[in-house]
Amino acid sequence: MDAQVTPLLERIDARERELGDAAEQLRTQIDELGARLRELDEELGNLAVTRKTLLSLPFPRTAREPAESPPVLPAHPAYQQILDTFADAAGPMRARDLCECLDLAVTPKNIESTRHKLKRLVNIGVLAEPEPGVFIQHRPSSPVTPRHRPT
């Protein structure tokens, strides 16, 4: 072999070893990070399940808590239709699902209008939103007082 080629081949060998070692170190770090990511994802999933479970449980009032007056439902009949639909629902619903249940055309206008009503029901304490855009009955056992307005 040529005397000029041998040092180049030795440098190439040395560089290959360096890169191989660096690549192996990165693979080890990726494996460790992947394992950590799986642990965090599992914990996030557990927290989401815990939140949903807690929101679905009726909490009894303690003797010291004053009796709450029932929330006042807005006068528009759509709100009662929404609550009737939730009473029959098997689980959480999105605005789009509710439009379908109410036989409304699934259009952006109807979805946004329904979402607005759902948010209003969350604000008055009738429904809960455990995740963004997902709604559940907050207090299925508490009565809702309809608001009557003169026409």
Q: If pLDDT is split at 50, 70 and 90, which confidence band does 34 have? A: very high
Residues 6 or more apart whose Cβ sits within 8 Å of residue 131: 48, 92
Mean of pLDDT values over 35-57? 89
Q: Residue 99 in contact with residue 115, Cβ under 8 Å?
A: no
Verdict on whether the full-model pTM lies above 0.85? no
Residue 126: count of CB within 10 angstroms of its CB: 25
pLDDT tens-digit readout, 2-15: 888 899 999 999 99
Q: In the block, which residue shows the tokens 């607005």? A: 116
Tell me which of 33-37, 46-50, 74-78 is least confident.
Answer: 74-78
Strands 145-146, 72-73: pairing is parallel
- pLDDT, averaged across the chain: 84
